[in-house]
Amino acid sequence: MAGLAGQQATAPPQLRSLVAAARSTAPSPEEVQSWARSFDKLMHSPAGRSVFREFLRTEYSEENMLFWLACEELKAEANQHVVDEKARLIYEDYVSILSPKEVSLDSRVREGINKKMQEPSAHTFDDAQLQIYTLMHRDSYPRFLSSPAYRALLLRGGSPSSSEA
Q: For the chain, what is the mean pLDDT?
A: 86
Q: Where are the domains of the chain?
A: 29-156
Query: Among 134, 116, 40, which residue's Cα sits nearest to residue 74?
Result: 116
| pLDDT score recorded for residue 159 | 42
Note the pLDDT tens digit of each residue in 27-72. Answer: 889 999 999 999 999 999 999 999 999 999 999 999 999 999 999 9
Phi and psi at 133, nearest 5°, equal -60, -45
Phi and psi at 151, nearest 5°, equal -60, -40
Rounded to whole angstroms, the Cα distance separating 153 from 117 reads 41
| pLDDT score recorded for residue 19 | 56
Q: Are 78 and 53 in contact (CB under 8 A)?
A: no
Phi and psi at 104, nearest 5°, equal -85, 105
| Architecture label for domain 29-156 | Orthogonal Bundle (1.10)
Average pLDDT over residues 112-117: 98
Residue 162 per-residue DSSP state: -
Rounded to whole angstroms, the Cα distance separating 27 from 14 reads 19
Does the pLDDT at position 9 exceed 60?
Answer: no
